[in-house]
């Protein structure tokens, strides 16, 4: 049976925070950029053959019949004409990219995915032949695995029944990597109907070996109330292939759900801003105490910490977070502590640092501000803490300042208090967010605020 929206958001967002997610895109995912789905792509070809298209059509066979009648070169030419003439900007793909998938798998020929990543200045690596696997970089780039080939090389696309029958031999390494990822990662299938056998055969093989120990994957599909077999099809996807299905009434509901998923993931990512140059003993002591308590309290409550390693305070945060995670026996520390240094003092670096700060803060749900002093030796004397506050406000993040006398965080704290109606979640707690309070109490209060929001 299908799962409900809340179950999906809760289960998949946790997988995303643990960085164990991959994306599988079918033809339906490219429709909002004007690319045709399989039915639209092959309908003109079916008309030339004098054959109908319906939900039971096997498109590999249809393409084979067309190639038999008009030649393989003509088939690829006709597909190329439809695929290579459209725009690429896609709100759906933008939402999917923001979720943070480690790898993308697709049966699409088009280049919409690559171009949307490029627009966001994210490096990608395209893999569509077995020979390409010698060049992949698992950790440094987003890999886009194009299982049926790519628009740049229509001679090697998988379109006909003959192509499909030879797939096991022609794409042996592709299938090996795909099966490995189906075992080690949690997939979200978008725009994929599961009507061909490529994915289901891989899942079936894994299930035969692993049985009930297989991990579950997820898909979002439009409910087909007119099809008497659809409910049984959904049940079969879960029971035999370990795919949990979230049903929607309209395809327009899918982007809304993805935005909710993004919000759910961001809410658990907390950016901590702070730096100081003073060697005052009281500041040092408060920095150590707050860093130790705040990192432990956030991590205990399953929040992820993002930090730019501001002077002194950033070092304290990173050190105590590492210490806490090590004591908990956590080996993959980078999943819980994400370090994004904003460095450079040469000409033009201020602009680059602001751009980096904006990119990082946009991926978080909240930002905490502590300390902060102006660096009069820098080319841009404005405090990085103040700039990060301005960015957080611009993108409507949850803002939590901890006032320390004479520092930027006190200015931010006063600004927030003077405009408290803009920060309703702080109305009852703003006066307790001051360095005079015990660090442990401040840390618990911050988590309470985050949970309530």
pLDDT per position as a tens digit, 142-154: 899 999 988 888 7
> What is the pLDDT averaged over residues 411-418?
96
Residue 102 has pLDDT above 70, yes or no: yes
Prediction pTM value: 0.86
**What whole-number distance in Å separates Cα of residue 151 and Cα of residue 325?**
45
pLDDT at 345: 63
Residue 378 has pLDDT above 80, yes or no: no
User: Residue 348: pLDDT band by 50, 70, 90 thresholds?
Assistant: low
User: Residue 379: pLDDT band by 50, 70, 90 thresholds?
Assistant: very low
pLDDT per position as a tens digit, 203-235: 999 999 998 888 999 999 999 998 899 999 999
> What is the pLDDT averaged over residues 16-22?
89
Name residue 368's beta-bridge partners.
272, 400
pLDDT at 318: 94
Residue 29 has pLDDT above 80, yes or no: no
User: Residue 25: pLDDT band by 50, 70, 90 thresholds?
Assistant: very high
pLDDT at 380: 47
């Amino acid at each position: 049976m299908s799962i409900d929206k809340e179950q999906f958001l809760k289960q998949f967002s946790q997988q995303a925070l643990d960085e164990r997610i991959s994306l599988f895109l079918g033809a339906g995912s490219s429709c909002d950029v004007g690319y045709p789905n399989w039915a639209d792509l092959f309908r003109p070809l079916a008309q030339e053959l004098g054959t109908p298209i319906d939900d039971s059509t096997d498109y590999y066979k249809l393409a084979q019949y067309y190639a038999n009648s008009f030649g393989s070169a003509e088939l690829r030419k006709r597909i190329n004409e439809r695929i290579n003439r459209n725009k690429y900007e896609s709100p759906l793909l933008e939402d999917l990219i923001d979720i943070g998938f480690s790898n993308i798998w697709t049966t699409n020929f088009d280049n919409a995915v690559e171009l949307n990543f490029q627009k966001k200045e994210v490096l990608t690596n395209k893999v569509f032949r077995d020979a390409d696997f010698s060049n992949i970089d698992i950790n440094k780039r987003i890999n886009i695995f194009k299982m049926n080939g790519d628009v740049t090389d229509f001679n090697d696309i998988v379109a006909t029944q003959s192509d499909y029958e030879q797939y096991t031999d022609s794409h042996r390494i592709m299938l090996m990597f795909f099966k490995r990822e189906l075992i080690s990662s949690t997939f979200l299938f978008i725009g994929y109907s599961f009507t061909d056998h490529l994915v289901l055969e891989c899942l079936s093989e894994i299930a035969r070996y692993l049985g009930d120990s297989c991990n579950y994957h997820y898909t979002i599909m439009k409910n087909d109330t007119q099809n008497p077999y659809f409910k049984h099809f959904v049940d079969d996807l879960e029971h035999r292939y370990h795919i949990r299905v979230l049903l929607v009434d309209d395809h327009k509901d899918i982007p809304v759900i993805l935005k909710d998923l993004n919000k759910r993931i961001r809410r658990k990512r907390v950016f901590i801003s702070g730096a100081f140059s003073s060697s005052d003993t009281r500041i040092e002591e408060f920095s150590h105490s707050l860093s130790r308590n705040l990192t432990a309290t956030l991590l205990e409550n399953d929040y992820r910490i993002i930090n730019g390693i501001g002077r002194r305070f950033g070092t304290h945060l990173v050190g105590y977070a590492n210490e806490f995670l090590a004591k908990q026996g956590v080996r993959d520390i980078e999943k819980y502590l994400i370090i994004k240094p904003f460095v450079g003092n040469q000409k033009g670096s201020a602009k680059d640092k602001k751009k980096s700060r904006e990119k990082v803060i946009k991926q978080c749900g909240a930002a905490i501000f502590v300390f902060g002093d102006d660096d009069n030796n820098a080319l841009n004397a404005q405090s990085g803490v103040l700039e990060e506050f301005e960015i957080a406000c611009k993108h409507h993040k949850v803002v939590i300042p901890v006032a320390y006398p004479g520092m930027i965080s006190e200015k931010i704290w006063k600004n927030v208090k003077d405009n408290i109606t803009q920060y309703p979640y702080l109305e009852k707690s703003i006066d307790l967010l001051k360095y005079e309070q015990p660090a442990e109490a401040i840390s618990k209060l911050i988590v309470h605020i985050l949970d309530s929001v």
